[in-house]
Amino acid sequence: MKAFHEVRNYRSDFMVWQCAYTNISFLAHWHQEIELVYLRSGSARFCINEHNFTARAGDLVLIDTGDIHYSDSSEMKNELDFLIFDPSVVSPLYRHSNFAHPLITAKMVENWGLTRELADLFKTTHTELAAQKPYYQEIVTATLRSFWYRLRRVLPREAPETTGNRRSHMLEEMQQLLAYMDTHYGEDITLSFAAEKMNFSESYFSRVFKRLMGINFVTYLNMIRVEHAAAELKASGKRVLDIALSSGFNNIRTFNRVFKEITGYTPSQFLNLDDPDSINLSYYKRKSTHQEFVEDDSLTLVRNDERSVFHEKTDPLPQTSHS
């Protein structure tokens, strides 16, 4: 499911992506890439694995490979720079670094003498990726590696033989569970079944799942089922009942209710839309009805706005110095 296991499409075989947005939240997901998020202004709430925190202007958020992360900032204003890159760009044998905490405050950046380097990282990456002049890949790689290893030199890490390894193992098992749900969504996947696959009690599994994903297990499973059902509704001439049953719902009444809760439409209303693709079916409106999908990007990015307009293009922020 693209909204949750993100597989990014790059413009070339050089797997580095950079862009900037205003007023952004994103759903819980994970990917193999490393992600850096710089807050130009405002504030944003993040959850990365089991770390919940608010980042503010000048802070840097580090999301390591495989980390499950989301941002629920629907009541906040922010300007965020995103830089996402494959770990092989910094090391061909890269493994998770087990940093102690994903939040790097502006004060920490200043104390470590990395303020100018951080500004240069985002400015150079943006400029070089946009222009793609000769040797742009080498320049971006050199800039990224220089900042990355300066950061690794000073950034605290968890003790290698303690909680870090146990949490990493738990996150791997959670990723496997999410992948299983995405391919077996039509089956009877219960809370007890999912908890057993993780070797957790039902109550503990529910708490862990909510902390990691930002939504409860049943809501998450229903989102997967509705997304697949919506795709079937658009692409096939099957009966709504048959689609409901093959998507994992026991009856048409439950299917209609859940479908409307997630999309805002009944299945029949959805089929009669002039442009059903305008509805981002991977986004569940948890808190606000005035959030919109950001066009031309991962399905995880959602813009927090005062309007209810889908598919509005968001222009990159100007690349200015942070020093």
Residue 3 has pLDDT above 70, yes or no: no
Q: Model pTM greater than 0.75?
A: no
Q: Take residue 133 and report the two structure tokens written for it.
A: 């002049």
Residue 48 has pLDDT above 50, yes or no: yes
CA distances from 303 to 77, 295, 307, 317 (A): 10, 10, 10, 14
Instruction: Identify the CATH homologous superfamily for domain 184-285.
Output: Homeodomain-like (1.10.10.60)
Predicted confidence band of residue 9 (pLDDT cuts 50, 70, 90) = low
Residue 187 has pLDDT above 90, yes or no: yes
Predicted confidence band of residue 308 (pLDDT cuts 50, 70, 90) = very low
Please provide the average confidence, as pLDDT, over all residues in the chain: 80
Q: So what's the architecture of 16-154 in CATH?
A: Sandwich (2.60)
Q: Which of 166-175, 227-236, 273-282 has the lowest average pLDDT?
A: 273-282
Where in the chain are all domains bearing CATH 2.60.120.280?
A: 16-154
Q: Which residue has the higher pLDDT, 54 or 161?
A: 54
Where in the chain are all domains bearing CATH 1.10.10.60?
A: 184-285
In this predicted structure, what is the pLDDT of residue 130? 92
d(CA 274, CA 271): 8
Q: Take residue 169 and report the two structure tokens written for it.
A: 């193992």
Q: What is the 3-state secondary structure (H, E, C) of the chain?
A: CCCCECCCCCCCCCCEEEEEEECEEEEEEECCCEEEEEEEEEEEEEEECCEEEEEECCCEEEECCCCCEEECCCCCCEEEEEEEECHHHCCCCCCCCCECCCEECHHHHHHCCCHHHHHHHHHHHHHHHHHCCCCHHHHHHHHHHHHHHHHHHHCCECCCCCHHHHHHHHHHHHHHHHHHHHHCCCCCCCHHHHHHHCCCCHHHHHHHHHHHHCCCHHHHHHHHHHHHHHHHHHHCCCCHHHHHHHCCCCCHHHHHHHHHHHHCCCHHHHHCCCCHHHCCCCCCCCCCCCEEEECCCCCCEEEECCCCCCCECCCCCCCCCCC
In this predicted structure, what is the pLDDT of residue 86? 93
Q: Which residue has the higher pLDDT, 220 or 43?
A: 43
In this predicted structure, what is the pLDDT of residue 142? 97
Task: For the chain, give the longest Cα–Cα distance.
Answer: 63
Rounded mean pLDDT, 247-274: 89
